[in-house]
């Protein structure tokens, strides 16, 4: 049986607005972030139609779980049924979480252009290559339902979409950032953007 994956990034958070790396740390959804989650749910409801064979999966972070709970409410699913999966957590930024790339450059001399290096490990964190391994492991696992809605993060989105499309590392690094206001339909080897809310794109280096 074929399956469809909808990949949703959580709504905007306080640290998103401040352009701070979040990684495995958390900050609350802004009011606009809550509205985005409602809009995602409404667009997903239109996408699903009468389809009820749906699983909702969320990263363990508070911002993703809150977004998933709002989506569940909008589409009529029990929020208690949300599956939390560590494999779809955001890039672990370790000691860099809570900082901006500008601060990391000024205080620690870290060149922001290195952020896409596959083997760069923040202190106490993980490499992007390790994050890609988690994305591939999640994609390889059998889907339990005809439709899976996964609520995760901007950084993880790029590697999961790249892994789904079978891209090499060079091509994967060029995948556009997952901006707020849209999610992705992954089906039949294709990745299609679905716009749920017309929004201004955030800076490219915004992570989380």
Burial of 67 (0-12, 13-18, 19+ CB in 10 A): buried
Average model confidence (pLDDT) for the chain?
Answer: 92
Q: Is residue 137 part of a domain?
A: yes
Tell me whether residue 41 is in a domain.
Answer: yes
Q: What positions carry a catalytic annotation?
A: 10, 90
H or E segment to which residue 8 belongs: strand 4-9
What does the pLDDT look like over 135-151, one tens digit per residue? 999 999 999 999 999 99
| Percentage with pLDDT > 70 across the chain | 94
Q: CB neighbours of 28 closer than 8 A, spacing ≥ 6?
A: 13, 14, 62, 63, 66
CA dist 75 and 81 (Å) reads 13
pLDDT band at 207 (very low <50, low <70, confident <90, very high): low
Measured distance CA(93)–CA(23) in Å, rounded: 5
| pTM of the entire predicted model | 0.93
d(CA 35, CA 67): 10
163-179, pLDDT tens digit by residue? 999 999 999 989 999 99
Residue 202 within any structural domain of the chain? no
pLDDT at 78: 87
- The average pLDDT across 41-70 equals 97
Q: Which CATH number characterizes residue 38's domain?
A: 3.40.50.1240
Question: Does some domain include residue 136?
Answer: yes
Domain count, the chain: 1
Reading phi first (left if > 0) and then psi (alpha if -120 to 50, else beta), residue 3 is in beta
Task: Examine residue 134 and state whether it is found in any structural domain, yes or no.
Answer: yes
Work out the pLDDT band at 201, boundaries 50, 70, 90: very low
Q: Is the pLDDT of residue 88 over 80?
A: yes
Q: Is residue 200 part of a domain?
A: no
15 in a structural domain: yes
Query: What pLDDT, on the 0 to 100 scale, is given for residue 79?
Result: 80
Sign of CA dihedral 49, 50, 53, 59: positive
The confidence score (pLDDT) of residue 205 equals: 43
Instruction: Provide the residue count of the chain.
Output: 208
The answer to whether position 206 is within a domain reads no
pLDDT in tens, 105-119: 888 888 878 888 999
Domain extent for 52:
4-195
């Amino acid at each position: 049986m074929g399956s469809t994956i909808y990949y949703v990034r959580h709504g905007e958070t306080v640290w998103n607005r401040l352009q701070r790396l979040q990684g495995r740390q958390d900050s609350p959804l802004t009011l606009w972030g809550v509205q985005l989650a409602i809009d995602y749910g409404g667009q997903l409801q239109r996408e699903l139609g009468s389809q009820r064979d749906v699983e909702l999966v969320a990263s363990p972070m508070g911002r993703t779980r809150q977004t998933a709970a709002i989506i569940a409410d909008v589409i009529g699913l029990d929020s208690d049924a949300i599956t939390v999966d560590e494999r779809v957590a955001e890039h672990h930024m370790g000691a860099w979480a809570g900082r901006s790339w500008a601060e990391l450059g000024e205080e620690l001399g870290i060149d922001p252009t290195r952020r896409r290096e596959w083997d760069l490990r923040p202190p106490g964190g993980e490499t992007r290559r390790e994050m890609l391994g988690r994305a591939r492991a999640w994609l390889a696992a059998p889907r339990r339902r005809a439709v899976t809605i996964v609520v995760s993060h901007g950084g993880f989105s790029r590697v999961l979409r790249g892994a789904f499309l079978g891209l090499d590392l060079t091509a994967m690094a060029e995948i556009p950032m997952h901006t707020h206001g849209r999610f992705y339909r992954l089906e039949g080897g294709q990745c299609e953007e679905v716009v749920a809310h017309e929004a201004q794109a955030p800076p490219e280096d915004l992570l989380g």
